Chain A
Amino acid sequence: MAGLAPRVDYLAGFSFPVGGLAAGKPRVLRLGAEILLSTGRELVYVFDSGGRQLTAVYRFPGQVWHLEVLALRRMLFVLCAWSGVYCLSLDQAGRSVSQSERDEEDSEPPAPVIPVDPDACVLPDATLRAFTVLDGALVTLAQGTAQWKLQLFECPGPGQARPLGKTGEVELSASTPPAGGPGKPEAPRFLPVLCCVSPPGCGASHGLQRGPRGFVLEGALFGLLFGMDATLLESPVVLCGLPDGQLCCVILKTLVTCSSAPGDPKALVRTLHHLEEPVIFIGALRTEPLPEDGEDTRCDCLVALGHRGRTLAVKASRDGAGSPVPELREYCLPGPVLCAACGRGGRVYHSTPTSLCLVDLARGSAPWLGEEADVPAAGLGGLPSLLCPANLSICSVVTLTVSPRPPGGGTELLALSARGRLLTCHLEQSPEAPWPSRGTTMDTGRKIKDLLCSISTISERASSLRRAVEQRDQALTRLNEALNVSCALLSRREGPRPISCTTTTAWGRRELRDVLTATCLLESSGGPRLGRGWVLCVQVLPGARAPDPEAAGPAMTYTVPVDQLGPGGRREVTLALGPGEDGVLDLPVTVCCALFCSLQEALGGALAPSGSFGDASRDEDRPDTLPGPGGICLPLSEHTVDLLQGLRFPGLAVPPAQASGPSGPAPDPVDTFLEACCRPAGPEPPRATYLPPSMAAITVSAELLRAAWGGRFSGTSLSCATLQWLLAENASVDAVRARALSSIEGVAPDGTDVRLTVHEVAVADVCPTGPLQAAEIQVQSCSLASVCGVHGAVLRRMQRVVEEQAARGSSPPDLRMQHLHQTQASHEALLREVRMLRDQLCEEDGAGSRAATATERLLRVYRQLRSPGLLLL
């Protein structure tokens, strides 16, 4: 395989972003001794390969997406992102523009940076995505909302003042996702590819000549692909490779622009093939030697490469009866393909992040593999059934071009690597022949230089491989860790878990506003350590956990990376629950904590095929090769934050932040401004303060409470203990305990006052054995919403207590059934009324006077249900 190593020559280095150049937009072209190059940024460099120096740098107003040059007229055409096609003459532009401006951020170009005048824009159009130049015409491809539009213009000259005459257009039927919103769309990941092919007769006498990137196809192949009419007209054809994989062709001479006879896309555009992956390259080459010793220019094979390596080759052959038929083959080359080029002798060069490969469509294998290679022999003149790529040991080439006729024969490739290096790569015509051993000093010097160059490319490659191995090791370690953690958390269902998460709430002040914050504390009490790749996901769901999971509104998920949590380590996450900018805090909310290990994160770049270069290209390939957004999710805890935890007690004056009083959330300054603009400051809308305070009550038997408390609160009166138990998760519980309160006044998050009172009562007529000791919990507020919220929170606690008691199997006390029946009957009557009213409300859709009375009645029923409230035993 030693013969595979090409002679690599390093010409120059250009700046590149962190992570290397991304493929798709950089271009390199050869124009005689000059090399034109763009790296996908605003600059186009002109490099003199003889003198090995930059001769000019042009700065364009936008990112350069495509370059083409007309060699004879020395005209440069450039497609700028979101701006259009620029045209300038390479001879004039350098001289006419004063060489004043020096580029600061790019320190390397010694040549003057020539800013390109906006007037050089010959075709302003923000939707252009690709173009190609023929000698007499400019073909552009613009992206519409739902389709691509191919347009044909007369070829411009530099400094053209009038807009280009449009000579034809047609829409290609392909769907592309619409760009949403009035904002600027994102740069497309893949640009379409255009390629111009002509029939053999299309000579210099015709207006539409082939351009710099055009190919002349053999008559039979041309006719088979594009039809009899195109052949008879000897019309050039533009092939479009679209990012959705479609490969279609348009016969240029059939395009029209006449408004009274628009071209029918069905008749003008023909889809040749669908690669089902973005088309990266279209080209043509000669696989068979010409019978006469002529020029190697008539191609007999059309090639298209897709991003993931799917390759199409089409050739003309004849069937058994002698009729010409197209022979079409698909191959799979190693992907992802960054760029490709067609060389002479049936060779296709294509670059992947790890290597530059060469396939030979004439023979199927690389020429050096020779006879011993296990390649099935192709039919006579047909396409090989299998392609064996040969590795040229150059990695991450982002753009590639084959020099037309290098001095000294052989093949010369011009390549730009992701690290911004401009390389030439010489492949010998007959690699079997050893390098010339006639040792003149010049030869030796040359040889040493070549050797040094190849050492540098090999070392670049070796380091990339080493990095890939390291990444793989790390990924395995992380996977192992992840599995250990999962086992430890999932296997131990009872008892304390090695990793736990607790949630507490408190009021705080943030950005001039009082907010309720939840603090999740992640603790590791031994066991495995959490490494990179683990994140703590905190999900805030509206509503309490159990009752109605599907009625929940939008959930918010916060993910916090847990970076290295060893045994005994703790990590605290505080997040604001609200009130938000609208001043509303809807309690209860449920805070769910879970640990998540993303496989993508854990495996890192180890699965990406490019171990070798930067993040930009890896990001690009990720969707194709990585296992999607999958991962391991381990639920840790679930905590419901209700109104009892959200109450503030300014009367206790414990939190110092309450100094400003129970004001609502401070308004946004811009809101204030706009409000001020909208209406002259008027009186506040009257609050509903005059309404009688609503009340709800629950009575709980002391026995039930005591059983739930266990040994706690011993020595405290029942009423004080009940209040402390209710406010156990509130930050003010210490003050309540210290003052031994049985009644307390607080402020709900919306600013309304809430009063919580606990009385010790004796319930007389329930038990046959005598009066029952019980605690009556009263909730009182002028805001019905607050009453409901607090009442709901109390009820949820009671429900939990009752469930726990039932689980322990304790029996309820003796009850007088008659009383129970009575209660049930009265409540059922109320329930019926509620149902009726609700139906009535639904029918009327919330408007009208009847609805108002219905609402009134519902409210009354609610009050009857709540006070005197539920009795729990």
Chain B
Amino acid sequence: MSHQIPLSSSVPQVNCLDLWRAENDRLVRQAKVAQDSDLSLRRQQLAQDSLEGFRGLLHSLLGLPAAVLVLPLELTVICNFTTLRVSLAQGFTEDQAQDIQHGLERVLETQKQLGPRLEGGLMELWNSVLHVSSLPPELLPALHHLAGLQAALWLSTDRLGDLTLLLQTLNGSQSEASGDLLLLLKTWNPPAKASDDPLTLQDAQRLRDVLLTASAFRQGLQELTTGSLPRALSSLYEAASGLCPRPVLVQVYTALGTCLRKMGSPQRALLYLVAALKGESICGPPLLEASRLYRQLGNTAAELESLELLVEALNVIPSSEVPHFLIEVELLLPRPDPASPLHCGTLSQVKYLLASRCLQMGRAEDAVEHYLDLLALLLDGSEPKFSPPTCPPGPCMPEVFLEAAAALIQAGRAQDALTVCEELLSRTSSLLPKMPQPWKDARKGTKESPQCPSWVSATYLLQGQAWVQLGDQKQAISEFSRCLELLFRATPKDKEQGPASNCEQGYTSDVELQQLRAAALISRGLEWGASGQDTKALQDFLLSVQVYPGNGDASFHLLQTLKRLDRRDEATALWQRLEAQTKLPQENATWSLPLYLETCLSWIRPPDREALLEEFGTSLQEPCDL
């Protein structure tokens, strides 16, 4: 776009400088008109036009040699251009650094100092500009404004060392000893603009206030993650006391809540969270923080309630905030990572959290409802805006299916659980290895058998459990057998090539595989037992004890079966071992097993171990006494 300055001859007294300045003022006004415009497309176009206008004006100014008289205007245009560009793009890029560098080089050009200092980087450039002894005072307001933008750029890219140096230089030598960023920002006093200076989109004073709040907040968040809580608290107080738009204030309060919760004062944390939620629009992070707080306090009802509220809050599509064409605090904040208190996840992630908490807390009915909601949300896909909980720390999709099935069985809806399992298998059937026929296997002999991901065997396990609930022992036994067939073929920690996601890498841990095997064996043994085939049951229980000696449940089932088969000697030996084990301090192995496996294990746990041991003990002693 060519930008032409009308050098009309009709008004002979007008000089270029005035024309350029008038153009700058017009563009600033246009951007402000755009800001207030209701039609957002129109708004965006107007803003884009202004941006192009500034670009063209800057181009014209750069076409001439730098001169002290024009420089304040030129620097102001650079500031306006950068401000508008950053706010339109919602972030700083390398381009802004270049624009600022151009501006500084132009300043040096007028001072005839543009020499070999170019390679020293931006900080070096700032040093030379600010140390020019004969810097014309009329340049100072624009230079400080530009320095403010540079500070914002460095703050957003985390170059705090340079930022501190810059502020020290700006403040003069008296505060050179202090390296405290907040203190430096507070003492920095950008010179006020004169009334006849060219218009700016945002003045330096306001920019400084924004910088102060943003850096206090950033510092607080960082200290919160590194664990220096008292310092985080004071930084966050500082941020909350500064100039703060409402959404930022909510974030600061949430971070304060997190900080206070970690410091062990939940009541004060709660106060801040309530304050954060008082605004007109409910947003996620404080609700999630509240659920964590209630979980810590052991108040399950309140925890689940806040999670439900969070789901509702996330369901409401946020009315898109109209961003101002200014550098604002939000632009200077880091993007929240999952560890940050400001990260609250998407609707599906929260829904998953709610469902799994319900299942963990034994509220099977609620869990079922939430899991089914979640699956509908993910699979129907009528709205593409929901992210499934696929991020690496979360569970992967098959696990969500399995947990849903487990919840259904827990809630007594075995038929539905079977449907969910079948759906899972049918959707992934093309990716699963073909089941090798046994006679082919025998012929090939040495050939390796295909590996299946662990969740496939787990699906069969859950299907078997569903059949157990439905009372079909034959089906159940055949599902358990399929499950075991797959499980005994697998080797743990087998990192398969191919797409690298959690659930496609084979088994995540040894313990998980062993537990799965034990669970399947016990389940089948129980079914054999129930159908009266105690010898087969005995075999399975024996195997499961071997497979995972740490699992006490298997031994108890074994003991019962031995007793039923009347093999007293073996039963006694086993009982004695178990008695010895119970007297030892129980090492509570906290393996983090998948939730579906935990749930499944809870089903096959013998109802009352202590009573069983006691009863067996007395029954043993009776004949001895005789």
Contacts and interface: CB of A to CB of B under 8 A. Distances in A.
User: Which applies to chain B's interface (DSSP): helix, strand, loop or mixed?
Assistant: loop
Contacts of A136: 384
A782 to B, nearest CB: 24
Nearest to A181: B98
Interface stretch (A314-322, A399-407, A619-627): A314-322
Contact of B390 (A145, A229, A261): A229
Interface string B365-402: 00000000000001111111111101110001110010
Interface stretch (A249-257, A518-526, A641-649): A249-257
B499 A224 contact: yes
Interface in A675-719: 675, 677-678
A834 B360 CA distance: 89
B345 A228 contact: no
A165 B383 CA distance: 12
Interface stretch (A105-113, A232-240, A482-490): A232-240
Contacts of A206: 380-382
16 contacts: A121-B45, A136-B384, A162-B41, A208-B381, A231-B428, A253-B386, A254-B387, A260-B343, A261-B349, A267-B390, A267-B392, A318-B433, A321-B436, A322-B433, A677-B70, A678-B68
B391 A264 contact: yes
Contact of B69 (A161, A207, A256, A678): A678
B300 interface: no
Nearest to B434: A322
A232 to B, nearest CB: 4
Interface of A: 118-119, 121-122, 124, 126, 136-137, 144-146, 152, 160-163, 165, 167-168, 178-184, 201, 206-208, 218-220, 223-229, 231-235, 252-258, 260-264, 267, 270, 318-326, 670-671, 673-675, 677-678
Interface in B314-346: 314, 317, 320, 335-337, 342-346
Contact of A227 (B283, B380, B448, B504): B504
A234 B346 contact: no
A262 B384 CA distance: 15
- Chain B interface size band reads 35 or more
A267 B388 CA distance: 12
Given A163-B44, A182-B55, A233-B397, A260 B392 contact: no
Contacts of A232: 379, 397-398, 401, 424, 427-428
Contact of B379 (A233, A261, A323, A324): A233
Contacts of B623: none
B39 interface: yes
Contacts of A126: 48
Contacts of A219: 429-431
B99 interface: yes
Contact of A145 (B95, B378, B387, B447): B95
Contacts of A121: 41, 45
Given A262-B335, A321-B449, 16 more contacts: A144-B93, A163-B41, A179-B95, A182-B99, A208-B381, A219-B430, A228-B503, A229-B388, A229-B503, A254-B388, A260-B345, A261-B336, A261-B344, A270-B499, A670-B65, A674-B70
Contacts of A162: 39-41
B488 to A, nearest CB: 16
Contact of A233 (B62, B68, B381, B382): B381
Nearest to B64: A670
Contacts of A184: 1, 55
Contact of A182 (B44, B59, B320, B379): B59
B263 interface: no
A260 B284 contact: yes
Nearest to A122: B41
Contacts of A178: 93-95, 98
B283 A228 contact: no
Contacts of A231: 427-428, 430-431
B27 to A, nearest CB: 14
B511 interface: no
B280 to A, nearest CB: 18
A638 B501 CA distance: 68
Contacts of A670: 64-65
B160 interface: no
B565 interface: no
B285 interface: yes
Contacts of B345: 260-261
Contacts of B335: 262
B381 A207 contact: yes
A163 B37 CA distance: 13
B450 interface: yes
